[in-house]
Amino acid sequence: DIQMTQSPSSLSASVGDRVTITCQASQDISKYLNWYQQKPGKAPKVLIYDASNLETGVPSRFSGSGSGTDFTFTISSLQPEDIATYYCQQYDNLLSFGGGTKVEIK
Amino acid sequence: EVQLVESGGGLVQPGGSLRLSCAASGFVVNDNFMSWVRQAPGKGLEWVSLIYSGGTTYYADSVKGRFSISRHNPKNTLYLQMNSLRSDDTAVYYCTGYTVTGPLWGQGTLVTVSS
């Protein structure tokens, strides 16, 4: 099974800050990684698919990069509506998720 | 509109059974790999089961031998048959599909296992 190590588990940043979350796979997953945003009581919403593709309708302040085992998710300028928990997910070999990153406003 | 709509959740006693359904529109269940993902209260996302377009199925160790994933072509619907339910199966269950244009998720259906 592929293990996804996501960090940090939580962070606090100011509005306008650049926020970065990383996800490391226990083996090569090529580009088969998605990033999700989840707000309380809601289903996860896909933001980035295949490591770097921005889902239609998602603001351009969200971006993703990486391939192989190391991936990065970035919010270029944190907004109040970005308060949520973010998850990475690999689908190269079955499925597995990172543990999540809870993003709060400082 | 492309969407997945789950149904079938509810309250069930330990040891009981439940079948979840996921109706797809604007999207062919048979042509894509589909999965069920769950989220226990206050916890993260956990993969439960998947079926590839060719029909091969896989299960997480926590549900192997108790859950069964299937699909019905004419109804364009994905199912999850859940037997021998336990309290730790309590969660919101999401149906998901993976296409070349990105993943799709349903809104989720709540399963509560309690006496």
CA distance B104 to B95: 8
Residues of B with CB under 8 A from a CB of A: 33, 35, 37, 44-47, 50, 58, 94, 98, 102-103, 105-108
- Which chain B residue shows the shortest CA-CA distance from A55? B102
Q: What is the pLDDT of residue B101?
A: 85
Alpha-carbon Rg for chain B, nearest whole angstrom, is: 13
Mutation target for B interface from A46, A52, A95: give the one with most B CBs within 10 A: A95
Helix (H, G, I), strand (E, B) or coil at A80: helix
| Number of other CB atoms surrounding residue B66 within 10 Å | 15
Q: Do B35 and A53 touch (CB under 8 A)?
A: no
Question: Beta-strand (E) ranges in B1-115?
Answer: 3-7, 10-12, 18-25, 33-39, 45-51, 57-59, 67-72, 77-82, 91-99, 102-105, 109-113
SS (H, E, C) A12-75: EECCCCCEEEEEEECCCCCCCEEEEEECCCCCCEEEEECCCEECCCCCCCEEEEEECCEEEEEE
Q: What is the pLDDT of residue B71?
A: 96
- Which chain A residue shows the shortest CA-CA distance from B97? A91
Instruction: Say if A105 is an interface residue toward chain B (CB within 8 Å).
Output: no
Note the pLDDT tens digit of each residue in B69-92: 999 999 999 999 999 999 999 999
Instruction: Give the gap in angstroms from C-alpha A106 to the nearest C-alpha of chain B.
Output: 22
Of all residues in chain B, what percent carry a pLDDT higher than 70?
Answer: 100
CA distance A36 to B48: 18
Instruction: Say if A6 is an interface residue toward chain B (CB within 8 Å).
Output: no
Q: What is the pLDDT of residue B27?
A: 86
- Which chain B residues touch A35 with a CB distance below 8 Å? none
Q: What is the pLDDT of residue B1?
A: 86
Of the CA atoms within 13 Å of residue B97, those in its CB half-sphere come to 28
State both tokens at B17: 């059974």
pLDDT beyond 90 at A12: yes
pLDDT beyond 90 at A57: yes
Helix (H, G, I), strand (E, B) or coil at A88: strand
How far, in Å, are A57, B3, B47 from residue A86 at the CA level? 17, 22, 16
- Which chain A residues touch B106 with a CB distance below 8 Å? 43
Helix (H, G, I), strand (E, B) or coil at B57: strand
pLDDT range class, residue B40, cuts 50, 70, 90: very high
Tell me the mean pLDDT in the region A19-34.
98
Q: What is the pLDDT of residue B100?
A: 83
Instruction: Say if A87 is an interface residue toward chain B (CB within 8 Å).
Output: yes
Q: What is the pLDDT of residue A88?
A: 98
Q: Do B44 and A99 touch (CB under 8 A)?
A: yes
- Which chain A residues touch B107 with a CB distance below 8 Å? 43
pLDDT range class, residue B99, cuts 50, 70, 90: confident
